A and B are shown apart, each in its own frame.
Chain A
Amino acid sequence: MTNPLVRRIGLALAAPALAAVFAVVVSAIVLELSGSNSIDTFGTILSNGFQLETFVDTLNRATPLFLAGVAAAIGFRMNLFNIGVEGQYILAAFAAAVVGAELNRFALPGFLHTLAIVATAMFVGAVWAGLSGLLKVTRGINEVISTIMLNFVATGGIVAALLPKVITDPTAPNQGTETIAERAWLPDLNGVAEVVTREIGRGRELTGVFLIAVVVAIAYHVGVNRTVFGFDLRSSGMNPFAAFAGGVQPKKMVFLSMVLSGVVAGLVGMPEILSDNHAYDQGFVQGLGFGGIAIALLGRNSALGMTFAALLFGFLDSSSAVLQVQASASAEIVRIMQATFLLAAVVAFEFVNRIRQRDEVARASAATETPNGPTPSIEGASA
């Protein structure tokens, strides 16, 4: 622990590792207390994990989670809590499904049809999130409250009001919009994946939205770390007063980052619309927005971290389905594991952060107490 670099890397890895161990221990205790065999359960989860189909399933589940994570992270980067990713993506997916179904009647090339659907989703997500941004900028309304309220207005109000008007078959058990024409569907990526793997079985199809997620990941990483906007965003988050003094307009930043967050949130429902169901119905997938917040927290708002977090949660979700089939343990244990991991991780991050700050104070005081000693390393001060 004498080498500061080793210590810093160790600290960075310690938090997630500690959290993972804690989550596993807690879930094991819960499993044993409720009369299941924890070793068997974890064994099932792991052995399932080594199958190609599980991997594809994991990627499919991780894709929307990752997108929702990026949407939340854009806000988090400047201490803006967009709790409304949930409402934004549901409203966006609904609008996209309606537009997609309407466009069935026109002779369009397939890619234009797809593009119109994606653009609608991004636009609606941006408008709904931008509304919260506008309320904050013009009226000082806390975005946590306004996004929560707008979630309910979107799902319980707008979608509930408009869905009956676009339902095609009122006798169907799961009523929804008209199915989007096949030309607009995104092709699955099985062919690409099978270049390096064996044939993917069990009807699993790797969603084409995965590619969109990769593009978003790169754009997010470059945008936040390598552009002026990203610099303004991060500096507003770290010290809004310093950022303001440096010429960053706080109101503009709040509004823009909410809009961008909404743009990405709009994409969250796309796997469902473009690859899975091709329609919005009453059973449309919910809860991805809150899942995305978890991903952003676990991944510490970095593209790489969120990728790992989304893959982990996607994998656990996919295990939950297996546990359900095998009935060896309650599938809900997976959710408990996720939530425990999340809570343990945020506590561990905070804890490690404090050790880091203490290190820094120690380094700074050591450097100032011995003015004739070796020059303090600048690298350490920027950590």
Chain B
Amino acid sequence: MSWFTNLPSWARWSLAAAVGMFVLTVVQRVSGTDLLTEEGTAQAMLRWSIPILLAGLGGLYSERAGIVNIGLEGMMILGTWFGAWGALNWGPWGGLAAGLVGGALGGLLHAVATVSFGVDQIISGVGINILAPALTRFLSERVFSGEAGGSVSQSPRVDGFGNFTVPGLADFLGTIRDQEIFWISDVAGFSRGFVAEMSWFTLIGLLTVPLSGWLLWKTRVGLRMRICGENPNAGESLGVNIYGHKYLGVIISGGLSGLAGAFIVLELAGLYRGGQTLGRGFIGLAALVFGNWRAIGVLAGSLVFSYPFGLSLVDFNAESSGGATRALLLVIAIALAGVMVWAQRSGKRGDAILAGLFAAIALVWYLGTETAAAWLPNTMPYALVLIVLLFASQRLRGPRTAGLPYRRGET
């Protein structure tokens, strides 16, 4: 498999996506559904992946700077409230900016506690996760409950950004999709979900991926942030302002999480509502681990994790009730069987047996049911993370000193 690992990461992920699409195409023929590779599924997946992506990238900046950020969820919650407040006053761009700032304030708090005072990073994060919902509830009681449609737990409706379709490309992909060629039309239809009726905010979210990759790996400030997470003492000896760069990383982290919150308000819900983040900050953290602390890996993770949910949006309605989600079980069984073969060939008997066992469970589940239950897509991302960690935790490597306290002059 050395040729595969020698490829650049975008090529590896694209190849993986092509193989994944092939599996999806085959499975949906077998299971008698066509939702797995439908354009609507791709669109829903993309829309719902953006908060996870932004939170995951937020975690990337923070952990690369050596600070574990469990508070992503709390900062996202701050982003939802500030996003709604900004959007009510100054429109969508105001909402975006306010969400960013609100989240960054949460990041600043985390940075003050962990970098300046050396508080344990998990503890500070938990504290922020407790503070944020209390603060936003208090604020909405004060600000939103006086307005029409607002209350202690929700804001009046706000407008999101508009949509756009990439001209030419969307039509081209649509034409190929309508040819109904096996696999190729499926890929075209699914890809069309990425270029048709996309929100501008989604585009902004996607653009942060190359931006983050460039900033962290190709610029001086990025190198300095990363040395905070790998070997801060070495950085200090070279004259890098470690505290300053840690602050920067954590504040950017909060800002991106806040952006994720603003996205939920502006594009997904259309209003602020208490508890609407639904643990997406934690899934973002999981996407970060899944993506091996890389920008493009976080993107892949957030797309994979939001796929079951995006699918459930088109799958659980009047015409359909979980048939396609059930088909997903077969996909998981096939993937696990692949893991089993790979583990067997790398001489890991234990892994192979475990993967085979899980594959068998997924297969039996698939064969024994006609439709999937509504709770399944909501749980899949979390279970998926655990399965990925179970088989790949040895291959994943995060920043070396993330989570450890750092004091200047102490080794």
Contact residues of B between 115 and 136, Cβ < 8 Å to A: 117-120, 122-124, 126-131, 133-135
Q: Are B130 and A161 in contact (CB under 8 A)?
A: no
Decide yes or no: A145 and B285 within 8 Å by CB, A153-B382, A160-B375, A330-B138 being known contacts.
yes
Contact residues of A between 138 and 158, Cβ < 8 Å to B: 139-141, 144-146, 148-150, 152-153, 156-157
Give Cα A144–Cα B71 distance, bound, in whole angstroms. 12
Decide yes or no: A152 and B389 within 8 Å by CB, A340-B131, A343-B124, A346-B113 being known contacts.
no
Task: Determine how close the nearest CB of chain A comes to the CB of B111; give it in whole angstroms.
Answer: 12
**Cross-chain contact of A156 among B285, B286, B382, B389 (Cβ < 8 A):** B382
**Cross-chain contact of B117 among A83, A291, A297, A351 (Cβ < 8 A):** A351
Decide yes or no: A157 and B382 within 8 Å by CB, A148-B282, A332-B137 being known contacts.
yes
Q: Are A330 and B70 in contact (CB under 8 A)?
A: no
Identity of the chain A residue whose Cβ is nearest the Cβ of B128 in the assembled complex: A343
A321 interface residue per 8 A CB criterion: no
Task: Determine how close the nearest CB of chain A comes to the CB of B60; give it in whole angstroms.
Answer: 15
CB neighbours of A189 from chain B (8 A): none
Q: Are B285 and A148 in contact (CB under 8 A)?
A: yes
A58 interface residue per 8 A CB criterion: no
Q: Are A290 and B130 in contact (CB under 8 A)?
A: yes
CB neighbours of A35 from chain B (8 A): 142
Mark interface residues in A322-363 (1 if CB within 8 Å of B CB, else 0): 000000001011011011101100110011001000000000
Task: Determine how close the nearest CB of chain B comes to the CB of A73; give it in whole angstroms.
Answer: 12
B18 interface residue per 8 A CB criterion: no
CB neighbours of A332 from chain B (8 A): 134, 137-138, 141, 152
Main secondary structure of the interface of B (DSSP, over half): helix
Give Cα A293–Cα B130 distance, bound, in whole angstroms. 10
Q: Are A343 and B138 in contact (CB under 8 A)?
A: no
Give Cα A152–Cα B278 distance, bound, in whole angstroms. 10
Task: Determine how close the nearest CB of chain A comes to the CB of B67; give it in whole angstroms.
Answer: 14
Q: Are A336 and B134 in contact (CB under 8 A)?
A: yes
Give Cα A153–Cα B385 distance, bound, in whole angstroms. 11
Contact residues of A between 45 and 102, Cβ < 8 Å to B: 81, 83
Q: Are B126 and A290 in contact (CB under 8 A)?
A: yes
Give Cα A184–Cα B394 distance, bound, in whole angstroms. 48
Main secondary structure of the interface of A (DSSP, over half): helix
Q: Are B393 and A139 in contact (CB under 8 A)?
A: yes
Task: Determine how close the nearest CB of chain A comes to the CB of B365; give it in whole angstroms.
Answer: 12
Task: Determine how close the nearest CB of chain B comes to the CB of A293; give it in whole angstroms.
Answer: 5
Q: Are B127 and A339 in contact (CB under 8 A)?
A: yes
CB neighbours of A291 from chain B (8 A): 130
Give Cα A333–Cα B138 distance, bound, in whole angstroms. 7
Q: Are B127 and A342 in contact (CB under 8 A)?
A: yes
Q: Are B389 and A141 in contact (CB under 8 A)?
A: yes
Contact residues of B between 85 and 135, Cβ < 8 Å to A: 109, 113, 117-120, 122-124, 126-131, 133-135
B269 interface residue per 8 A CB criterion: no
**Cross-chain contact of A343 among B113, B133, B376, B383 (Cβ < 8 A):** B113
**Cross-chain contact of A346 among B119, B286, B386 (Cβ < 8 A):** B119
Q: Are B383 and A157 in contact (CB under 8 A)?
A: yes
Can you pick out 15 interface pairs between chain A and chain B where the beta carbons lie within 8 Å of each other? Answer: A34-B138, A83-B70, A83-B122, A145-B286, A145-B385, A149-B385, A149-B386, A156-B382, A294-B127, A332-B141, A333-B138, A335-B130, A335-B133, A343-B124, A350-B118
- Other A-B contacts than A139-B389, A140-B393, 13 sampled, CB-CB below 8 A, are A30-B138, A144-B70, A145-B286, A148-B286, A149-B385, A156-B379, A157-B375, A161-B373, A297-B123, A332-B137, A335-B130, A339-B130, A347-B119
A→B interface (CB under 8 Å): 30, 34-35, 81, 83, 135, 139-141, 144-146, 148-150, 152-153, 156-157, 160-161, 290-291, 293-294, 297, 330, 332-333, 335-336, 338-340, 342-343, 346-347, 350-351, 354
B→A interface (CB under 8 Å): 68, 70, 109, 113, 117-120, 122-124, 126-131, 133-135, 137-138, 141-142, 152, 279, 282, 285-286, 289, 373, 375-376, 378-379, 382-383, 385-386, 389-390, 393-394
